Amino acid sequence: MDGTKKAAFTGPVAVSVTDGTLASVTVTGNDGSTLEGALDEAGTTWTSAGNPFSGTTYTVVAQAAGADPLTSTFTTKAPGATFIGPFTPEAGSTPEAGSTSKAGRALG
């Protein structure tokens, strides 16, 4: 995923090895945030406890047991057409998440 510019931010980050086990994983955002996470029982996959933030560049440093650390970066995509603010539905309408208004604006 090195250099990915539009990674999803709607699920946890996972780092895996196919040969051996992971000794350590750190995932740090350009804003200074760190994603906490844990290894699975086999020690082959690390999964973050939470989702990454949108529009953030992350640096992943992963080290397999007995190997040098490897560094990779990715940037999460920014949410498009996010609406934050009050909204009054049109008279007689019942807006639902994902619906659009007559003006074509996303609702919900």
State the average pLDDT over residues 4-8: 84
Q: For every residue of the chain, which 3-state class applies, written as one string?
A: CCCEEEECCCCCCEEECCCCCEEEEEEEECCCCECCEEECCCCCEEEECCCCCCCCEEEEEEEECCCCCEEEEEEECCCCCCCCCCCCCCCCCCCCCCCECCCCCECC
- Quick: pLDDT tens for 7-54: 888 899 999 999 999 999 999 999 999 999 999 999 999 999 999 999
pLDDT digits (tens, 9 = 90+) for 51-106: 999 999 999 999 999 999 999 999 998 877 556 677 677 777 766 665 555 555 55
Query: Which has more pLDDT, 69 or 108?
Result: 69
pTM value is: 0.71
